[in-house]
Amino acid sequence: MLRTLLLHLNSVLNKKMNEEISKSMLKSHTSIVGLVCKDGVIVAADRRVTAGSIVMNKDEKKLKVINDKYIIATTGGAADALISEKLISAELRLLELRNKSRPNVKEAANLTGMMLYRNIRTPAMIPFIVGLLFAGVNEDGVCELYTIEPAGGVYRVKDYDANFSSGMPYILGFLERMYKKDLSVKEGIELAKECIKASTQRDSASGNGIDVYSITKDGVNQVVSEEILPQYK
């Protein structure tokens, strides 16, 4: 009897969680994109923060440099994204100190996914829901990109992804036509800029600026920081 009750309760909780994630996926109010290149990885994001139909902030950085080897791009509620960035940075630093070595990109991405998994399945009034792109470079110079869904699933990206950002449909549609294998980092930078520009033309929750970072064997570097200004004629 108790087992049946627990299974029913778990089913109800999972249903509510899935409904909440489904409702939040295209309400994440941002545009992020990650591109896998032959000589590295590119990640980019816009800068707009909205509350409903109101633009609350025009200069929010949605790419967080964890250290000289890792960077994350976040999509979701602003407060949820900010607290996630802090927790991820702290946990990865603690892991590095405990092991006296830095985890590789796959290990770091999976630790991040486990944190999101535990959070959303821990009883709480409102668990935070955040999607992430996790990029980094390993000690051997190999760069990797992972997409981490709000429920904690971690998947290696072999070409491109925009996670569950509100600009995702426009970005993925654009990349279906424009992305090509063996893209160079230099080409990827320009393509990432065009992805964000394409999204801001149709997604009212995205805009105001573009930030692009490259991840290569030399580490994480910002390569684009542009403000998008309205033009009146």
Q: CB neighbours of 133 closer than 8 A, spacing ≥ 6?
A: 32, 33, 34, 43, 72, 73, 145, 146, 147, 148, 157, 161, 163
Selecting among 4, 30, 200, 216, the annotated active-site residue is 30
Q: Give the ranges where 147-232 is alpha helix by DSSP (H).
A: 168-178, 185-200
Q: CB neighbours of 207 closer than 8 A, spacing ≥ 6?
A: 46, 47, 48, 200, 228
**CA–CA separation, 223 vs 98, rounded Å?**
33
**Token pair of 18, please?**
């899935």
**CA–CA separation, 167 vs 192, rounded Å?**
13
**Residue 4, SS3?**
helix
**CA–CA separation, 193 vs 188, rounded Å?**
9
**CA–CA separation, 83 vs 127, rounded Å?**
12
Our answer to whether residue 30 is catalytic in this structure is yes
- Residues with catalytic roles: 30
